[in-house]
Amino acid sequence: MNTKDDATHFAPELHIPNETFNIDFYTKFGATEHFCLRNDDGSIHVAELEINGAIFHVHETMRDALEPISAKGVTSVIGLFVPDVDDLMHKAIRAGATEINPATDHDYGYRQGMFKDPFGHYWQIQKKI
């Protein structure tokens, strides 16, 4: 049997602009910060966060990778399954996200809502209904 630490799982890495000093948005909508490594100037190099067991990282832009602001568009959509779509959508909006699609029940058996975080990443918050 796999434990949480050795089970296969995704951990998306969301790129943020270089010289970003504040990622409080994520903790304001419910993420827990595990660690945050900073550069000599205090800007964020990489941080590990978790939402109800779903781990993700924010990382300063590196190599040929683009973050949504410099790419001038969506670079990926983070699909996050949660017990209460409406609650997390409301928390994200209050924390500074922009609603893209309100939480809606769909014929294919999902309740989904989408928001854009302050760094331009799209999040699809969802649950099976």
In contact, 60 and 18? CB cutoff 8 Å: yes
Average pLDDT over residues 71-91: 91
Domain boundaries, the chain: 13-128
pTM of the model: 0.85
C-alpha span between 86 and 17 (Å, rounded): 29
What pLDDT digit, counting tens, does each position of 64-80 carry? 777 888 888 888 889 99
Q: What is the CATH number of domain 13-128?
A: 3.10.180.10
Beta strand 54-60 with 44-51: parallel, antiparallel or unpaired?
Answer: antiparallel
**Number of C-beta neighbours around residue 1 at 10 A:** 4
